[in-house]
Amino acid sequence: MKRVVAISSLVLTMGLAAMPLAWADAAGDALAAKLKAAMPGIPLTSVTPTPVAGIYEVVAGSDVIYMSADGKYMFQGVLVDFDARKNLTEARRGGIRAELLKQLKDEDTIIYAPMGTPKHTITIFTDPSCPYCRKLHAEVPELVKNGVKVRYVLYPRAGLDSPIGKTSIGIMCAKDRKAEMDKSLAGQTLSLPVCDSHPLAKQLELGGALGLEGTPYIVTDGGVVISGYRPAADILKVLDSKK
């Protein structure tokens, strides 16, 4: 119920969801019109039929829910193609995340990259005060050694006005972001000047749109989420399996 109710409060994703609107048929058009009338602020992206007769997939921001064709019933959950053993809902969400990540520029992140062309790229939303974020950072050299490009996005969970928020801003304003990032994730206390030209406010919104609920939060370029701390070997297995 939490995500169904949240669909009416997804206005913050309107600036992030740049995907084209898609309506599949007349019934989809009618259902979209009903939703817009009931929830005028909803960032509706698409209304399309599912493989289940009479059931439509509704995408709003990064949320995926399902509704009956007449708009009378709305429900959340995971739609699985049992014969194919495929999670259709997660596949759709992965596509949404991948599109959202395309809006993230490398210059607005902190990059640890191997020499030459990377085999994989992952984006990690991290909070320097998070113990498991610090533990994950110790795995980054092994990831880079194995051809993984790591893009860090600073995500201070307590907000930009908090002490860790100001530290995060200071890191992004520093001449050598990586050096200050390494110090912070090593548990060192930093005292850095802040600046106004940083992307963290937008990136906090992006994390919300991606469905982030805690850090560290790892997302592959294909939109696959690897939540929480995982050793490098486990992350590499996931990446190789999704290649």
Last residue of a domain, one of 45, 80, 115: 80
pLDDT at 128: 93
Catalytic status, residue 130? yes
Identify whether the C-beta of residue 28 lies closer than 8 Å to the C-beta of residue 36. Answer: no
Does 61 share its domain with 128? no
Residue among 92, 93, 97, 130 flagged as catalytic: 130
Q: For the chain, how are helix, strand and coil distributed in percent, rounded to 5?
A: 40, 20, 40
Tell me if 137 is assigned to some domain. yes
Does 44 share its domain with 144? no
Catalytic status, residue 63? no
Profile the chain (243 residues) by mean pLDDT over runs of 10 residues: 42 39 76 90 89 93 90 93 93 93 94 96 96 97 97 96 94 95 92 90 92 94 93 95 76
pLDDT at 5: 42
Tell me if 97 is assigned to some domain. no
| CATH code where residue 230 lies | 3.40.30.10
Does 162 share its domain with 61? no
Residue among 92, 133, 134, 151 flagged as catalytic: 133
Tell me if 94 is assigned to some domain. no
Does 132 share its domain with 185? yes
Angle ∠(56,76,235) on CA atoms, nearest 5: 105
pLDDT at 8: 34
Catalytic status, residue 173? no
Nearest 10 degrees: Cα torsion 123, 125, 129, 134: -30
Q: Give the residue among 12, 20, 10, 7 at the shortest CA–CA distance from 74.
A: 7
Q: What total number of domains does the chain contain? A: 2
Angle ∠(75,32,69) on CA atoms, nearest 5: 50
pLDDT at 24: 62
Does 35 share its domain with 132? no
Identify whether the C-beta of residue 209 lies closer than 8 Å to the C-beta of residue 61. Answer: yes
pLDDT at 222: 92
Catalytic status, residue 157? yes
pLDDT at 176: 95
Does 20 share its domain with 62? yes
